[in-house]
Each structure stands twice: as structure tokens, then as C-alpha cells.
Amino acid sequence: MGLLVFYLLLAILVSFLCSILEASLLSFTPLLH
């Protein structure tokens, strides 16, 4: 049961980090071109 909760939190954390990374990439893209 604890392992399932751990994987669930890990999936939420990864998706959260991916959304932050995507937003930062979209904001930094005009600086690169």
C-alpha cells in the first residue's frame, strides 16, 4: 500500500516538474532565437 502511494506521489511530482520545465522553456525560447 505504501509503495502504491509512493508511486502515485512520484507520478504527480514528475508531471508537476514537467509542466514547470515546459513553462520555463516556453518563456526562454524567444531569448534563444
What pLDDT, on the 0 to 100 scale, is given for residue 31? Answer: 74
- CA angle centred on 11, ends 6 and 13, rounded to 5°: 95
How far apart are the C-alpha atoms of 20 and 11, rounded to whole Å?
14
If we measure between CA atoms, which residue out of 27, 26, 7 comes closest to residue 15? 7
Percentage of residues in the chain with pLDDT exceeding 90? Answer: 67
C-alpha distances out from residue 19 to 2, 6, 32, Å? 26, 20, 20
What pLDDT, on the 0 to 100 scale, is given for residue 28? Answer: 82
Residue 32, pLDDT > 90, answer no
Rounded to two decimals, the pTM is 0.64
What pLDDT, on the 0 to 100 scale, is given for residue 4? Answer: 96
* Domain ranges across the chain: 1-27
- CA angle centred on 16, ends 11 and 19, rounded to 5°: 125
**pLDDT (tens digit, 9 = 90+) per residue, 5-18?**
999 999 999 999 99
